[in-house]
């Protein structure tokens, strides 16, 4: 597991925890750790072997134990459990400008929306407007956000490109 792998797992865990309405401090801890790990100047595996995980900003006992599990086993039970509870497509909804965790959770729990395509279809059919905090204007903003997201992907905005260190 390299730095990017662990940072991605922690970031996705933060998204899933936030969608589930978990404690904001816990969500923030995962986000901060993901950011710190992604910007480390050395391989996380080296820090793990040197027993230096606590020197990473935002990494305490709980997150150090999770990193240890990832390094030892290549997997993380807590991550697997979250993935089983929150469909992957639901976290993809967070990529749509204007859709945060609370709205993504409402769309998923009340309408069963699990993908950006399903969100677009529901917005076009006017099904979002009846939800709490969502009116016709928000529906239009969701459609506009999806269009922006798709334009960016079509133009190769770099969301799926290689990081600079790999070039």
- Note whether 90 and 96 are within 8 A (CB): no
* pLDDT value for 109: 94
d(Cα 16, Cα 71) in Å, to the nearest integer?
A: 22
pLDDT in tens, the chain (167 residues): 899 999 999 999 999 999 999 999 999 999 999 999 999 999 999 999 999 999 999 999 999 999 999 999 999 999 999 999 999 899 999 999 889 999 999 999 999 999 999 999 999 999 999 898 888 999 999 999 999 998 887 776 544 444 444 43
* pLDDT value for 161: 41
Domains of the chain are: 3-85 (1.10.150.110), 88-154 (1.10.150.20)
* pLDDT value for 153: 73
Neighbours of 47 (CB within 10 A): 20
Q: How large is the angle between the packed helices 3-19 and 101-111, nearest 10 degrees?
A: 60
- Closest C-alpha to 92, from 33, 163, 150: 150
What three-state secondary structure class fits 129? coil
Burial zone of 130 (CB within 10 Å; 0-12 exposed, 13-18 middle, 19+ buried): exposed
Dihedral of the CA atoms 98, 100, 106, 111 (nearest 10)? 60
Consecutive H or E run containing 162: none
* pLDDT value for 157: 52
Q: How large is the angle between the packed helices 116-124 and 101-111, nearest 10 degrees?
A: 70
């Amino acid at each position: 597991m390299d730095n990017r792998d662990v940072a991605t797992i922690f970031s996705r865990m933060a998204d899933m925890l936030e969608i589930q309405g978990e404690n904001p401090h816990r969500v923030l801890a995962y986000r901060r750790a993901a950011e710190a790990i992604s910007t480390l100047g050395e391989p996380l595996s080296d820090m793990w072997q040197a027993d230096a995980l606590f020197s990473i900003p935002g990494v305490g006992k709980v997150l150090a134990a999770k990193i240890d599990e990832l390094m030892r086993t290549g997997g993380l039970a807590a991550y697997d459990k979250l993935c089983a509870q929150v469909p992957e497509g639901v976290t993809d909804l967070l990529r749509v400008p204007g859709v945060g965790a609370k709205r993504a959770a409402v769309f998923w729990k009340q309408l069963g929306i699990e993908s950006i395509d399903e969100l677009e279809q529901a917005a076009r059919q006017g099904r979002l407007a009846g939800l709490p905090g969502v009116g016709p204007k928000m529906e239009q903003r969701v459609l506009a956000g999806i269009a922006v997201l798709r334009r960016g992907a079509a133009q190769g905005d770099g969301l799926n490109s290689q990081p600079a260190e790999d070039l």
